[in-house]
Amino acid sequence: MKNLQFGSQCVRAARDTKTTRPHQLPIYATSSFAFDDLPEGMAVFSGEQAGHLYSRFGNPTIDAVAEKIAQLEMHGSGEEGHGLFCSSGMSAISTLCIGLLQPGDAILTQPNLYGGTDELFRKVLQPLGFEVILADLSDLNTVAKALEQHAAIRMVYFETPANPTLSCVDIKAVSALAHSHQAIAVADNTFATPYLQQPLLLGADYIVHSTTKYLNGHGNSTAGAIVGKDKETMQEQVFPALKLLGTNGSPFEAWLLNNGMKTLELRMERHCQNAAQIAEWLTQQPQVSRVNYPGLPDHPDHQLAGQQMRHFGGVVSFELKGGLHAGRQFVEGLELCTLAPTMGDVDTLVMHPATMSHLRVPVEQREAAGISDGMIRLSVGIENIEDIRSDLEKGMASIEKRG
Ligand SMILES: *Cc1c(COP(=O)(O)O)cnc(C)c1O
């Protein structure tokens, strides 16, 4: 299985060959595992003998899927990654931070994080004594200065491309800066997936995923994953945090995720192809004042994204000249695209950050992060491009009619 191409690995990996020979990965719906006798139980408990004990610690379905994600993140390098499967993207992030950091340690991160991560840092980790320092991570001088000024920084945490402006972070350069100050580099790879971008191969130490999005791709399970390059810290620090906080995912969610991942390469190719065409089309619409897509030559991170990503991703955001009012009219005029606060599913999803994901963010802060009242985020699906475009045309036309 080791020498397969990326897309083949997506399809073929994560089969259970240890017990019987099922053609597909089964769901092990069992909370614990039985032993033949006391010596066997003792050997497995002490770690002398490989085996499963209790599903919160691991389970054949869960382990197969965690290993598959680790293989995909390290694909092509010949090196091994170490994966853990979690109950959500948020549980992956909190487990990693609690497992690796001590109160008093600081996290350096960006102001334009996924909303839940931003709240986790401010509302949960900060009150527990973890310091959180915000800086523009796309500016390497700012990153270097922050690392020099705050000796307590132990982790640099970033998202690239970031939501919803699609700004990018130079993974290689920021990881190197982190390492020169004895800090670890962590990338949230949810938007890109390992098919488009492999942060661990560019120098990051850990990646986290909300597998709820593109890795699953079908919008039918909530789960997350952590992959680390260092086996010892994964086993001695991150795994105990998962096991003892109980942030493990379930075998059923792992099984759904495995089915979704089989078509990762096919889906990502189509998502990216469609998104590139939609971004180009949006630039020509008179109602649109700005389009954010790293694939467009005028996006500030076009060159960087081209270096560290295979294609430019499936998410596009844009601003309507008519602001909030036009945003509402546009969304109301759509018939095919689904209005939903998620992304990465096979169907095209629309989100209006000002009234949905960023409703509770103060207006000044939201606008400073580049999220205007008229911004629309599109998670471009894998439908036929003609159908997506004609639906977006309906949305645009409804602005004109009522506007
Ligand atoms: C959705 C998301 C998360 C949180 O994941 P859940 O599975 O909803 O817990 C974290 N990071 C990014 C970039 C996301 O899009």
Residue 148 sits in the same domain as residue 232: yes
Closest ligand 1 atom to 212 CA = 7
Please check whether residue 24 lies inside any domain of the structure.
Answer: no
Residue nearest to atom 5 of ligand 1 (CA): 89
Residue 226 sits in the same domain as residue 333: no
Q: Is the dihedral of CA 118, 196, 382, 222 positive or negative?
A: negative
Average pLDDT over residues 239-259: 97
pLDDT at position 366 is 78
Provide the domain limits for residue 338.
Answer: 264-402
Average pLDDT over residues 386-402: 90
Q: What percent of the chain has pLDDT over 90?
A: 81
Please check whether residue 51 lies inside any domain of the structure.
Answer: no
Average pLDDT over residues 158-170: 94
**Two tokens, residue 162:** 């970031």
Residue 176 sits in the same domain as residue 299: no
Residue 110 sits in the same domain as residue 208: yes
pLDDT at position 357 is 80
Q: Is 56 among the residues known to form the active site? A: yes
Burial class (CB in 10 A: 0-12, 13-18, 19+), 156: buried
Cα–Cα distances (Å) from 122 to 36, 98, 113, in that order, read 49, 14, 12
Going from the Cα of 261 to the center of ligand 1, the distance in angstroms, rounded, reads 17
Q: What is the C-alpha separation between 377 and 353, in angstroms, rounded?
A: 7
Residue 247 sits in the same domain as residue 346: no
Of 241, 261, 281, which residue sits at a domain end? 261
Residue 276 sits in the same domain as residue 228: no
Going from the Cα of 49 to the center of ligand 1, the distance in angstroms, rounded, reads 36
- Strands of 338-339's sheet in order across: 288-292, 315-320, 375-379, 349-351, 338-339
Residue 242 has pLDDT above 90, yes or no: yes
Bridge partners (DSSP) of residue 288 are 320
pLDDT at position 217 is 98
Least confident of 9-18, 46-55, 109-118, 235-244: 9-18
Describe the crossing of helices 323-332 and 385-402 by its angle, rounded to 10 degrees.
130
Residue 70 sits in the same domain as residue 211: yes
Residue 286 has pLDDT above 80, yes or no: yes
Count of positions (residues) in the chain: 403
Residue 176 sits in the same domain as residue 122: yes
- Is residue 302 within 8 A of residue 295, CB to CB? The reply is yes
Ligand 1 within 6 A of CB of 224: yes
Dihedrals phi, psi of 56, to nearest 5 degrees: -65, -25
Residue 358 binned pLDDT confidence (cut-offs 50, 70, 90): confident
- Is residue 379 within 8 A of residue 314, CB to CB? The reply is yes
- Where is mean pLDDT largest: 40-44, 151-155, 396-400? 151-155
Q: What is the C-alpha separation between 248 and 107, in angstroms, rounded?
A: 24
Please check whether residue 29 lies inside any domain of the structure.
Answer: no
Spot the catalytic one: 188, 301, 373, 391: 188
Please check whether residue 93 lies inside any domain of the structure.
Answer: yes
Going from the Cα of 370 to the center of ligand 1, the distance in angstroms, rounded, reads 20
pLDDT at position 403 is 44
**Structurally, how many domains does the chain consist of?**
2
Residues 6 or more apart in contact with residue 387 via CB below 8 angstroms: 336
Q: Is 63 among the residues known to form the active site? A: no
Going from the Cα of 329 to the center of ligand 1, the distance in angstroms, rounded, reads 28
Residue 327 sits in the same domain as residue 251: no
Q: What is the dihedral of CA 62, 95, 88, 217, to 10 degrees?
A: -70
Cα–Cα distances (Å) from 7 to 25, 187, 191, 216, in that order, read 18, 22, 18, 15
Residue 246 sits in the same domain as residue 115: yes
Residue 68 sits in the same domain as residue 84: yes
Residue 232 sits in the same domain as residue 84: yes
Please check whether residue 316 lies inside any domain of the structure.
Answer: yes
Please check whether residue 223 lies inside any domain of the structure.
Answer: yes
Of 261, 292, 321, which residue sits at a domain end? 261
Spot the catalytic one: 114, 157, 206, 214: 114
pLDDT at position 307 is 98
- Is residue 175 within 8 A of residue 157, CB to CB? The reply is no
CATH code of 104's domain: 3.40.640.10
pLDDT at position 348 is 97
pLDDT at position 85 is 98
Angle at 209 between CA 207 and CA 215, to 5 degrees: 125
Closest ligand 1 atom to 92 CA = 9
Average pLDDT over residues 9-36: 82
Q: What is the C-alpha separation between 182 and 108, in angstroms, rounded?
A: 13
**Two tokens, residue 93:** 């992030």
Average pLDDT over residues 283-311: 97
Closest ligand 1 atom to 223 CA = 7
Of 209, 226, 261, which residue sits at a domain end? 261
Closest ligand 1 atom to 159 CA = 13
Residue 321 binned pLDDT confidence (cut-offs 50, 70, 90): very high
Dihedrals phi, psi of 174, to nearest 5 degrees: -70, -35
pLDDT at position 17 is 58
Going from the Cα of 245 to the center of ligand 1, the distance in angstroms, rounded, reads 19
Dihedrals phi, psi of 213, to nearest 5 degrees: -95, -115
CATH code of 398's domain: 3.90.1150.10
Q: Is 267 among the residues known to form the active site? A: no
> Which stretch of DSSP H or E encloses residue 380?
none
Residue 123 has pLDDT above 70, yes or no: yes
Q: To the nearest whole number, what is the mean pLDDT of the chain?
A: 94
Please check whether residue 244 lies inside any domain of the structure.
Answer: yes
Name the more confident of 274 and 360. Answer: 274
Q: Is 213 among the residues known to form the active site? A: yes
Please check whether residue 2 lies inside any domain of the structure.
Answer: no
Ligand 1 within 6 A of CB of 247: no
